[in-house]
Chains A and B, each alone.
Chain A
Amino acid sequence: MTASTAPPSAPLLTIRGLSKGFLGVQALDGVDFTLRHGEIHALLGENGAGKSTLIKTLTGVYQRDGGTVALEGREIAPRGVEEAQRLHIGTVYQEVNLLPNLSVAENLFLGRQPMRWGLVDRGAMRRRARAVLHPYGLSIDVTAPLGRFSVATQQIIAIARAVDMSAKVLILDEPTASLDAQEVAVLFRVMRTLRSRGIGIVFVTHFLDQVYEVCDSITVLRNGRLVGERRTADLPRLDLVAMMLGRELEAAAHRIDIGPAELDSRPPLASFKGFGKARSVEPFDLDIRPGEVVALAGLLGSGRTETVRLVFGMDRADKGEATVDGQAVRLKGPRDAVRLGFGFCPEDRKKEGIVGELSVRENIILALQARQGWLKPIPRRRQEEIADRFIRLLDIRTPDAERPIQLLSGGNQQKALLARWLATEPRLLILDEPTRGIDVGAHAEIIRLIERLCADGMALLVVSSELEEIVAYSRRVVVLRDRRHVAELRGGEVSVERIVAAIASETPNVEVRQ
């Protein structure tokens, strides 16, 4: 990596009047953006504001409709990612965009493999891959296929790759969405080191704490337009939120009012005894009562996702039994779970959640239709009503319900998935990292909605890396470590400190998987 030679005062990257339109949507409308040397610059805005589009247009994934981009004063117009990379701009796009079939090392060095005698030097590649991952505390088998690793690990690998390539500009589009606090701390340490070398970093996130922790300045977009640029230090949090939403955020959500005593007196909706699967999760006991929010907390790879996959029948348990309403039930697949009134928003929405080419409407009614069976089609009118209701309720930003869901911004896809399950009026809703990629405004809305549903008797099982979020709405927290349920906190015991304490006895930061 070479440090930049230009004087630090001159802007590193200057964007003027950048515009980009898609069929029926003006995603970017004359946006200006300036990135200086040695600066971490937050790019903020609601879901669908145009952040990812700005990044993709800047790096040549999309061809811009208008505007100029200058790197160190020289105009650039990359026609593809390859060209952007040659200009020393490294990017982590939203969602993990690596190749599951290639090894970790091949992913890290795709297109820039170390060569010897005209051939790829695989030994050197392995060695360098280990070195590149070292600062992140990731000591994994770099020859294993990337697909074997969890989303979070893949995310770190994507970051490491971009960092290793970006001698001038590093762009990170929601890199922290699936990371836990410890990983985020590591990432920030790396970002600060790069900043001290004069590299400019563009950082997109929906976690405002993170913005105030590392960013020097903030640019806010709304509906494809520039709202303004500020120094972080000069912008109080409430003002920032107002800038993003164009309005004040209503008071933060409150804890649900039902006391633990009353909840415990209810008969459990679903209960799992000695439930588990070899090589996946140790057998565990879990009761979920109507109206209750149970959260699963733990580090990366601690088995949270695998626990909820078992509960929903996505993976088949080989031990233990499940009962619903006191009746023993079989959970041989998601279909059984859906019939029992369960719903599940998976962690990897692109792979396991959305049906990309189908419309928002079809995605929303899919689970409801599947439960009704193919012989009883939901009439088109009714489908539209349901879709429109949830589009309004969750504020899904889409020109209309007929747009293929893959064209929505990441956060809006997540909301549509939530709508899919809410439409089935589930008795138990399972959410794996539910607010991942969702903006502050929508975040508050969704939490309020969840509370209302719980008040109506729905139970919720949540996996989240946001401990504050967990504390904000759950009455019971199950803590996992090394694929084992190690502690359960109830009612008044639930606090960030106690969760952390339960997690942190010994914390090997290694990928346990595969």
Chain B
Amino acid sequence: MIPGVSIEEKTDPLQGQILEVSMGPHHPSTHGVFRMDVKLDGERIVSLKPVFGYLHRNHEKIAEDVSYLGSIPYTDRLDYLCSLTNNWAYCLAVEKLSGFEIPERAEYIRVIVGELTRLVNHTCLMGFFVQDLGAMGTPLMYAFREREKILDLFEGLTGARMMCNYMRFGGVRCDLPVGWIDEVKKVIAAFPRFLDEFESLLTQNEILIARAQGVGVLSKELAINAGITGPCLRASGVGHDLRKVDAYSIYSRFDFKVPIGAHGDCYDRFMIRLLEMRESLKILDQAIAALPSGQIIDPKAKSRGLRPKAGEAYGRIEAPKGELGFYLISEGGPSPYRYRVRPPSLINLTVLEDMCLGGTVADAIATLGSIDIVLGEVDR
């Protein structure tokens, strides 16, 4: 006990009882099997403990058992909304480990599918977020309508809509089908219309503003200290984007900007994603225009029976949700000695309590929605 400081039990006669509510694991707006142990004073949150692990699938241990190639389909299932960026981050780590060269065309294809994935993720997230605010699913349906078009593109390219399993060490699995680029162009051309409509439906809506502005504020300092990444960090006013910082792949060739917010509240996180989509569209336009022909995979690279030389590597990309990293240690065997994922959702989730304290249950739901978590990635 610190001398001079006396801790006094304050008992307020008007103070009511604390109500404990266990929200989840099956609750309509916990985005999967996630639980929040919430203590409520009236409707104000006095304590919130996130409880997760209901969806734990032993991903990292399995990956240490199967071949390097065999882990790629498992990475699809981490953040199941954006499998392509998961593939990409993992391939980047393996490529670093084994020193493969990625052909020019493959890099462009990766950027194109990566940015399309960002569009998919952000449309979904915005829909879910507004759904959590109680909007009867209308924005969600509009978001899904657009997402569907991009998923069609993925199906045409990779054979699957969500579990794409497309990237390979040193390149990509297969070349673009005939006419695919034209379809992409069509989708991209129609996309701004959707964004405009979405903005006019929501961004000036008084109810959304009342519900999202000043709610779930994440300060710049806390965001940096807690290792928050992605749109959540940028909404708090830190201009940190790995596409600029690392300039991995060929992102240095594209002209795009990184939007940053000033308040770090739910509304900023929402708007930052909207603005990011517009930037993604710019990148897509440039990448499609400059798409070269050539090989799609490093001829030296081999997928099957890959045994990288002993060493370690950390590959990270700016996934739609934040910094997605894969850390691999190889002992020269057919499977990694250590395999570790840095999931952006999980780390962004750690500040949930700080953002929710003092707010109401409704605020907590909105904040959780604005963080953008996918339980597949949080629990792994």
A, B in one complex: no
